[in-house]
Amino acid sequence: MHMADALLSPAVGGTMWAVSAGTIAYCARKVRTDLDDSKVPLMGVLGAFIFAAQMINFSIPATGSSGHLGGGLLLSILLGPYAAFLTLASVLVIQALFFADGGLLALGCNIFNLGFFPAFIAYPFVYRRLIGAQQTRSRMTMAAIVAAVIGLQLGAFGVVLETVTSGLSSLPFSTFVVMMQPIHLAIGVVEGFVTAAVASFVYKARPELIQFSPEARSTGSRPVRGVLLAFLAIAVLTGGFVSWFASKDPDGLEWAIAKVTGKEELRAPAQGLLGTLAEVQQKTAVLPDYSFKKPGETGKDETQPAGQRKNAEGSRLGTSVSGVIGALVTLALALLIGFLLKKRQQAV
Amino acid sequence: MASIDGALLDFKRLDRLATGDTAIHRLDPRAKVLATLVFVVTVVSFGKYEVTALVPFLLFPVAMVALGNLPVSYIIKKIALLCPFALVVGIFNPIFDREVLVQIGSLGITGGWLSFASIVMRSILTVGAAIVLVGVTGFPGVCLALERIGMPRVFAVQLLFLYRYIFVLTDEGSRMERARKLRAFGKKMQPGIFGSLVGHLLLRTWQRAERIHMAMLARGFTGEFHTRKDTEFGSREMLFLFGWSALFIILRFLNLSQLVGSLVTGISP
Amino acid sequence: MSHHIVEVRNLRHVYPDGTVALRDVSFRITHGESVAIIGANGAGKSTLLLHLNGFLSPTAGEIRIGDYPLTKATLPEIRRTVGMVFQDPDDQLFMPTVYDDVAFGPLNLGLPGMEVEQRVKEALEKVGAGHLQDKPPYNLSGGEKKRVAIATVLSMSPDILVMDEPTDGLDPHARRQLMALLKDFSHTRIFTSHDLDMVLELCSRVIILHEGEVRADGPALEIFRNDELLAQCRLEKPLSMQGCPVCRGKG
């Protein structure tokens, strides 16, 4: 359930980037001051371990399907929340760059959904609370399942919220929730079960790895609350700023550019090459350039000048026959340029 | 990721592309990372139903592939995998959004299909940009760039360590899985067995971390990482970054497809 | 530090779980010697090596490197003096490129940029890996990895080289190359290995560890001729001393 660039608006993507970057910076400071330097290679290698473990599938009993380890909760148990968050974030960066899981802008969302919830909510407030002082196997399994379910439910809900606020998907909020949450309930149970299986194996072989995880003691108290509050503050501030930004005009970027250039609307400049092109276009166009049939106006062919972009989504799109043909030609041009560049490249 | 070895080979291939030596490869990674970010933000800033205006943006990944001498078919194959989640969510748009927005002759295109097409187009562009970025910069280059832009050193080191040991550990993991398969006679992996197999892998990983730490101490490690900073953000980088950014912003407000289309259809009878 | 001497006196090490890895180990290795420490699995070789660089501290006994006893205060200097090459080069090569890896030590020593660059060049040249400097370590072959791992240590200009199983996992050609390289060094060298033919070729002196104690310490040839001793310590003669059953008497 990696969030994807294609479903994100810049406002939501930017907010989540800021939140995740802030949390990374905070954790990095924390890890620097709290941990001994032997944790430096350990975090790195455990991140790679998560990759290796994710590539090994197991079959889920009684379903015939197979699953793999997510790893957020396991890392939190082994490393404590700060180091675990950084490790998870690093895993997600690699997935975004190499496996095309989501993309660069969605990285902020993904780090938050899959890193923040397990490390700073599920682990300290659920797992640690449930497991108490005695780490018996059954207690461990129970705590891991509950924590994994809660972590994943929150993560899935995060995906729903981010998608719905971005507004690119037309899925109604309720339908989306009904789709996402039950699936992740099942995934959460499996995740918890497997996490417990691995953790209890390690606990049997080398109990000190799990018992004395240096930060395990301090969680649930002030530091984590600090993170939570800081996160909330960042989210409210960025969110508030961005939505104020966005409410001025449905399109924040356009608005910002207009502000910067000092014009109400950004028009194709009247002089120079573009101006000439625009003139040529006016003169030669057979098809009206914006032949939009807005709902309710069918039959009335409305032509709008290119500068008029007030009327939100509908009128902003130049999609008409000429637009489609133009897109194809542009595509061909882009490929041709690429081809020529490549030729030149090889000739050099 | 059906086959471990397949996924690994694929990974290694993308990694090797970055060893190329073209003008694009030689640019300071910061220029490439920043240009890619501007690109992605511009692409996603378009309205929900925009399709044609997105097409000219293909020029960026296409030019990078060409200038970076990347294998075209391989990159296309990587992009074709796209992001399954985006497509699964997007495919619901035509169901929920049935308003006809565009009329081409007698064919009415609904907002749902338009926005779905837009999501596909966005996926191609954003996923393509990310993959091409790695192909012409390399992962260590991207890390270095992010660090110099302001990412905490601890996190940069974390990314580099993770990257270094992915190959080592996935190799180890796939050896263990192969050994299990050889003796399993077609039986599927049970969660309990998974627990001890992965648990073993985890313990070995932990021991490896201890050995690496010793190797670091043996060479005078005191908690500080020193990295080389031998690239410079010169005029070529300026030109690259601002040239592309300017183009993206122009393309953001000027629907080139529309313009070209009007020209073409206007001229041809 | 003119005397590159390694001296171990009554070294004893007990792991936290109660396992006695080293009972009572004493030896003295002097400048320029090439010494092999051999023994069966579990004889205590690795535990011993980890003491020479201060990763483990003795339960009892003393270690002196050069003129200094090994203590917390002398540790940084001793780690520079004793270059440790690990068995698995993947543990030793952790930086993004070969160059970064070889520069890691000198940079930690706080050397100026020019000097670092020169040391890296020299170290890579010495092991014949100059052309590999921009490659990431995971793209190297086993033999290349091993040589680069040695270069990462050489760049710190150590006086003493300690190597754990240097020929482990190498193909015959790479093994030959590595042995030729090691033969050329003028450092004091300490190896552990199960590759007894390599030991015979490279080392004039052999120390046999058995159950945490020094069982024999003497010239390599003398020790490898003692069949009884070798059998007791779960070892055997190097193949080159066994006489070939096919061509016996003809060669």
What pLDDT score was predicted for residue A320?
54
The one-character DSSP state at C16 is: T
Contact C92 B15 (CB under 8 A): no
Task: Sketch the domain layout of chain B as residue ranges.
Answer: 1-142+232-257, 152-219
Comparing CB atoms, the residue among A91, A209, A285 nearest residue B206 is A209
Burial tier of A307 (Cβ tally within 10 Å: 0-12, 13-18, 19+): exposed
Comparing CB atoms, the residue among B52, B170, B258 nearest residue A55 is B170
Q: Are residues A140 and A245 in the same domain?
A: yes
Question: Distances in Å between the alpha carbon of B69 and those of A7, A331, B20, B131, B138?
Answer: 30, 20, 8, 14, 14
Query: Which of A9, A37, A40 is most worth mutating to test chain B (most B CB atoms within 10 A of its CB)?
Result: A40
Q: Are residues A288 and A201 in the same domain?
A: no
- Give the torsion sign (CA, B126, B128, B131, B137): negative
What pLDDT score was predicted for residue A21?
93
Q: Are residues A323 and A221 in the same domain?
A: no
Q: Are residues A69 and A198 in the same domain?
A: yes
Kindly identify which residue of chain C lies nearest to residue B161, measuring between CA atoms.
Answer: C94
Query: How confident is residue C169, by pLDDT bands cut at 50, 70 and 90?
Result: confident
Contact A329 B264 (CB under 8 A): yes
Kindly identify which residue of chain B lies nearest to residue C158, measuring between CA atoms.
Answer: B219
Q: Are residues A237 and A312 in the same domain?
A: no
What pLDDT score was predicted for residue A346?
66
Assess A42–B contact: CB distance below 8 Å, yes or no: yes
Comparing CB atoms, the residue among B97, B118, B127 nearest residue A103 is B127
Q: Which residues, at least 6 apart from B199, have a Cβ–Cβ distance to it below 8 Å? A: A197, A198, A201, A202, A205
Separation in Å, CA of C85 to nearest CA in chain B: 8
Model confidence at B9: pLDDT above 90? no
What pLDDT score was predicted for residue B92?
84
Q: What is the mean pLDDT of residues C153-179?
A: 90
What pLDDT score was predicted for residue A229?
63
Assess A145–B contact: CB distance below 8 Å, yes or no: no
Q: Are residues A276 and A248 in the same domain?
A: no
Compute the distance between CA of residue B145 and CA of residue C162 in angstroms, rounded to an integer.
37
Comparing CB atoms, the residue among A4, A284, A340 nearest residue B86 is A4
pLDDT in tens, A126-142: 888 888 777 777 888 88
Contacts of B63 in chain A (CB under 8 A): 337-338, 341
Residue span of the structural domain in which A28 resides = 5-253
Assess B139–A contact: CB distance below 8 Å, yes or no: yes
Tell which wins on pLDDT, C208 or B11. Answer: C208
Is A259 a domain residue? no
Chains that touch C (3 or more CB pairs under 8 A): B
Q: Are residues A64 and A105 in the same domain?
A: yes
What's the CATH code of the domain at A155? 1.10.1760.20
Contacts of B16 in chain C (CB under 8 A): 139
* ipTM over 0.95 threshold: no
Contacts of C109 in chain B (CB under 8 A): 220
Query: How confident is residue A288, by pLDDT bands cut at 50, 70 and 90?
Result: very low
Compute the distance between CA of residue A265 and CA of residue A201 in angstroms, rounded to an integer.
64
| Amino acid found at A230 | A
What pLDDT score was predicted for residue C27?
94
Compute the distance between CA of residue B84 and CA of residue A280 in angstroms, rounded to an integer.
42
Contact B220 C84 (CB under 8 A): no
How high does pLDDT run on average in chain C?
A: 89
Model confidence at C119: pLDDT above 90? yes
Separation in Å, CA of B28 to nearest CA in chain C: 16
Query: How confident is residue B33, by pLDDT bands cut at 50, 70 and 90?
Result: very high
Of A223, A253, A283, which residue is a domain's last? A253
Q: Are residues A181 and A280 in the same domain?
A: no
Q: Are residues A276 and A196 in the same domain?
A: no
| Residue C99 near residue C120 (C-beta atoms within 8 A) | yes
Contacts of B167 in chain C (CB under 8 A): 138
pLDDT in tens, B34-57: 999 999 999 999 888 888 889 999
Q: How many domains does chain A have?
A: 2
Query: Which of A56, A163, A345 is most worth mutating to test chain B (most B CB atoms within 10 A of its CB)?
Result: A56
Q: Are residues A282 and A226 in the same domain?
A: no
Comparing CB atoms, the residue among A37, A201, A337 nearest residue B199 is A201
Q: Among residues B59, B64, B71, which one has the least CA distance to residue B17?
A: B71
Model confidence at A251: pLDDT above 70? no
What is the DSSP secondary-structure string of A264-279? Answer: SS-PPPSSHHHHHHHH
What pLDDT score was predicted for residue C249?
52
Task: Sketch the domain layout of chain C as residue ranges.
Answer: 6-91+157-242
pLDDT in tens, B146-160: 988 888 988 988 998
Of chain B residues 224-243, which have a CB less than 8 A from chain A? Answer: none
Where are the extended beta strands (E) located within chain A?
58-59, 66-67
What pLDDT score was predicted for residue A111?
93
Is A261 a domain residue? no
Compute the distance between CA of residue A49 and CA of residue A84 in angstroms, rounded to an integer.
13
Classify domain C6-91+157-242 at the CATH superfamily level.
P-loop containing nucleotide triphosphate hydrolases (3.40.50.300)
Model confidence at B223: pLDDT above 90? no
Separation in Å, CA of A222 to nearest CA in chain B: 23
What pLDDT score was predicted for residue C247?
66
Query: Which of B8, B24, B155 is most worth mutating to test chain A (most A CB atoms within 10 A of its CB)?
Result: B155
Contact B228 C86 (CB under 8 A): no
Query: How confident is residue C76, by pLDDT bands cut at 50, 70 and 90?
Result: confident
Q: Are residues A293 and A222 in the same domain?
A: no
Q: What is the mean pLDDT of residues A243-272?
A: 40
pLDDT in tens, A151-194: 988 998 999 999 988 888 888 888 888 888 888 888 888 888 88
